[in-house]
């Protein structure tokens, strides 16, 4: 079997329906029949990989402060569910290990985005890849992505045969093709809400697999698909699934 991105990936688990980057999100995606999830990983002060998106805990927990300054014990006391809905009261920030257990149990593929806190790009990639090397076997269903070239380069140095994805912002650097080549990525991930057809043509010309994020409008998913983009990352993957043609 070769590495092939699925057509739909649940963004931050299944962020439209469950608090982002939680076990509840992973299970929600699996319950919908989604085959892959995208999750963001950081490390705690004491170097434990956890699922978390922001550098500060304010938006998605019941307190405030920089996550890089918190130990795992402190992170585990946070409520990462109530901000989303009272029904998720008591939801914890999961460790990467807990998330992988759930992903393996539900037989999902994983796009793991290394979302290091500033200055921790190399360290985060090192700790995450080291942990994954002990708990993940099927590299056709694992993709390590990042906006950080330092994190991707570290992943390349540690495990050049693992699949990597280059994340581009809505305003990519001029030499993004060189980065994709240099980092030997399997895929390029771009903001599919802002991209125009010329940019998508340039992306397709690289021959890399493409993932468009974060698409919650089935009409836009359909446009992207008609331009040749196979993989859509969405907060509402069920809506996208209903709106696009299934291609094998």
- By CB under 6 A, name the binding residues for ligand G3P: 11, 38, 40, 53, 113, 145, 167, 189, 213-214, 233
CB of 53 to ligand G3P, least distance (A): 6
Residue 233 binds which one of ligand G3P, Mg ion, none, with CB within 5 to 8 A depending on kind? ligand G3P
> Does the annotation count 222 as an active-site position?
no
What residue has token string 């090192």? 126
Residue 113's Cβ-side half-sphere holds a number of Cα atoms within 13 Å equal to 27
132 Cβ contact list (under 8 Å, min separation 6):
96, 100, 112, 142
Q: Measuring CA to CA, which residue among 103, 181, 180 is closest to residue 136? A: 103
* For ligand G3P, the closer CB: 92 or 214: 214
CB of 173 to ligand G3P, least distance (A): 16
CB of 73 to ligand G3P, least distance (A): 26
What residue has token string 């076997």? 137
Residue 164 binds which one of Mg ion, ligand G3P, none, with CB within 5 to 8 A depending on kind? none
CB of 149 to ligand G3P, least distance (A): 15
* For ligand G3P, the closer CB: 40 or 131: 40
* For ligand G3P, the closer CB: 145 or 154: 145
Q: Which residue is nearest to ligand G3P (CB)?
A: 213
Q: Measuring CA to CA, which residue among 190, 213, 184 is closest to residue 202? A: 190
Burial call 197-231: b when 16+ CB within 10 Å, e when fewer: eebbeebeebebbbbbbbbbebebbbbbbebebbb
Residues at the site binding Mg ion, with contacts judged by CB under 5 A:
40, 113
CB 78 within 8 A of CB 62: yes
Q: Which of 27, 53, 97, 139 is catalytic?
A: 53
Six token digits for residue 168: 């581009």
Q: At 156, phi and psi to the nearest 5?
A: -60, -45
> Does the annotation count 11 as an active-site position?
yes
* For Mg ion, the closer CB: 40 or 178: 40
Q: How many CB atoms lie within 10 A of CB 77?
A: 13
Residue 189 binds which one of Mg ion, ligand G3P, none, with CB within 5 to 8 A depending on kind? ligand G3P
Catalytic residues, by residue number, are 11, 53
């Amino acid at each position: 079997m070769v590495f092939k991105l699925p057509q739909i990936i649940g963004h931050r688990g299944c962020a439209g329906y469950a608090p982002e980057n939680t076990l509840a999100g992973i299970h929600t995606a699996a319950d919908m029949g989604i085959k892959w999830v995208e999750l963001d990983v950081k490390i705690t002060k004491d170097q434990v990989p956890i699922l978390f998106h922001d550098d500060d805990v304010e938006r998605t927990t019941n307190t405030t402060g920089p996550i890089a300054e918190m130990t795992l014990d402190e992170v585990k006391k946070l409520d990462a569910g109530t901000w989303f809905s009272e029904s998720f009261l008591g939801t914890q920030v999961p460790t990467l290990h807990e998330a992988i257990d759930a992903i393996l149990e539900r037989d999902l593929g994983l796009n793991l985005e290394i979302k290091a806190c500033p200055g921790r790009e190399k360290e985060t990639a090192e700790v995450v890849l080291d942990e994954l090397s002990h708990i993940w076997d099927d590299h056709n269903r694992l993709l390590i992505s990042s906006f950080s070239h330092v994190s991707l380069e570290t992943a390349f140095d540690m495990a050049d045969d693992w699949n990597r994805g280059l994340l581009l912002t809505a305003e990519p650097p001029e030499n993004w093709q060189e980065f994709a080549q240099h980092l030997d990525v399997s895929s390029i991930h771009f903001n599919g809400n802002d991209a125009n057809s010329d940019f998508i043509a340039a992306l397709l010309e690289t021959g890399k697999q493409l993932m468009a994020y974060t698409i919650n409008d089935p009409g836009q998913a359909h446009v992207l698909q008609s331009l040749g983009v196979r993989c859509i990352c969405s907060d509402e993957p069920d809506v996208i699934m209903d709106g696009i043609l299934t291609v094998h």
